[in-house]
Structures are given as C-alpha cells and as structure tokens.
Amino acid sequence: MQWAFITLLSSAIAVLASPTHTANRTLTFTIEATRHGKPIPPSQIKLEPFEFGRSHIGHHGPVPAPPSSPEAVDPTPRMAKRANPTATSNNWCGSVNTLSKTNPVKTIHGEFQHPTCSLRGGSTTFPQAAANWVGIDGDSWTSALLQAGTVCKIDNSTGIVKNEVWWQWVPSAAYTITSMPVSPDDWFEITIATSSATSAEITITNLAQAHTYTITINSGPTLARVNADWVVERPYFGTTLAGFPTFTDVWFDNAWADLISGARVNVDGAKQYQIPGLCASQEWDGAWVTINVTGSATLS
C-alpha cells in the first residue's frame, strides 16, 4: 500500500455521478452501495483517488479475545495458539497462506474490528498510519496485489486520527471510499471474489453501521492468486514508510479462502509475518489471527 503524501492530505475530489469509472487507462470498475439495505444514490458515493506504487513487503532475516459483536464474531471460543512458520518484514504484520498455481485462490474472506489508534511516542515520521486489510497475492507473487480494508492515519502535530475505508489493485489503482463511515471498534467484513486472474468483485461491509460497498473490477493487473493475506500494514507514503502508531489488537475472524477446486483453506499453518519490535501476529485454531503491538520501540 503506497500513497502520495500530498494526495493523502487533500479532500475528497471524486463524486461519482456515473457508476462506471476508469483508473489509469487500464482498470475499469463499477461501484454500488447500500445503507441499511437500501441503495445509496451514485451521487452520494465518493472516492478519493491516490497515486500509488508497489505495496512493499520487506523480508528480513496469552492474547485477550476482542470485544464480542453478534453480527461479526464467530461464537466458537478460541481454544489455543498454533505454532506457525514465521518471517520478518519491515511493513507487513499478519498471516499469508501460499497456495499452488494449479489450484489458486478464487475467493478470500475475513472479518476484523477497526482498531483504536494512538500516536507512538518518540516518532517524528509524518504521518503515522496502520492499514488493516484482506487481499490476494503480493508475497511470493510480486507483480500484483488486490487488497481492501481500513486505515487509521494520525497527524503527528495535532494528534488527530482519521479513519478510512480503502481498496487497491497494485500497481494500477488505490482509492479511499470517503463516503463509507468507519469508527474505532466497528466490525468489517471483507470478501474478494475473483472471476479470473484480471477480474474481481470486492465487497466491503461495515457491520456496525450497516453500510455495504461492492466494487466490480475488470481488466486488472494479472494475479497468480497464490497468496491469501490477512494483514496489518505499515504503509508507504511516496517512497517513505509511514510512522507506525500503537493500536488495539486486530483480530481477523472467519479468515478463509476458497480455491478454484472448491476446497477451503484458512490460516492453519500459514506464515506469520512480524515487524520486529513493533508488531506480532499469531494464529488461533486455524480460523483466527490476532495482530498486536509489541515492545516499546520508537521510530525516528
């Protein structure tokens, strides 16, 4: 996830008068939305486009359960942590399940609670940000990444936190959905369903506020569909990593991916990325991942 810093600070500039749009000449998409089950007029659906580059992943060498939410949380108790292979990154913290090219991901799903974010003390990197997302590819397949989720961004000088919903098909498009509400502790459900390696439908639902946005995308960058991702990311702004705030634990519940064959996989045995000194990821019983701030590292 990478945005141009100047664009980050601008106000919403795209008010969708038409349901069909083109991004960077190669990516076309339509967007529809509902509020409490009723259609939202296209004129009220607003996107803020971001300039973008590659989403970066840098490889280097008992947690409490979240607050309950009857709409979003599977009632099955989390019984035990699982031992997973681990890897370190400079900006990804979360779970990646790598699949075979002969039986790739068709659909990925996850639910999470948007965290409460706070300024990390001692950091002078501007701004601070943490992006929570569900996606396909971007790890072993680096040519493309399709992702959607939420982000908190903090102005270091004022401490003001801005919470947003966004989606991106790297390297072709990145958008914030400025008309979709998001508050700390809201539960979100994300589903990305691919119809081919270049076409997909993203469904983002704020379960707490009963808003659903569906984005249908055609002619996207070619996915291999071999990585199923549930991640909290320290995003790039331009070519510089953002500061990484502190945040309440992020649980990815009901984390699963359906394959072309019809089989379903989850995070059982998936690789867990850690950001050393800043963030840790842990699998619980195959269907849940918890991501939490670790240590007291400061960023310059």
Domain ranges, residue 161: 2-61+81-293
Q: What total number of domains does the chain contain?
A: 1
Note whether residue 109 is domain-resident: yes
Q: What is the pLDDT of residues 192-231, one digit of tens each?
A: 999 999 999 999 999 999 999 999 999 899 999 999 999 9
Span 146-183, pLDDT tens digits: 999 999 999 888 889 999 999 999 998 689 999 999 99
The verdict on residue 171 lying in a domain is yes
Domain assignment present for 89? yes
- Look at residue 74 and tell me if it is in a domain: no
Please list the active-site residues. Answer: 233
Specify the CATH number for the domain of residue 138: 2.60.120.700
> Contact, 81 vs 286, CB < 8 A?
no
Residue 18 is predicted with a pLDDT of 35
Mean pLDDT per 10-residue run, the chain (300 residues)?
40 32 66 97 90 42 36 48 82 96 98 95 79 97 97 89 95 90 98 97 98 95 97 88 93 96 94 94 83 63
Residue 44 lies in a domain: yes
| 175 inside domain | yes
In a domain, 68, yes or no: no
Task: Write down the pTM of the prediction.
Answer: 0.84
Q: Say what the pLDDT of residue 149 is.
A: 97
Omega within 30 of 0 (cis) for the link into 171: yes
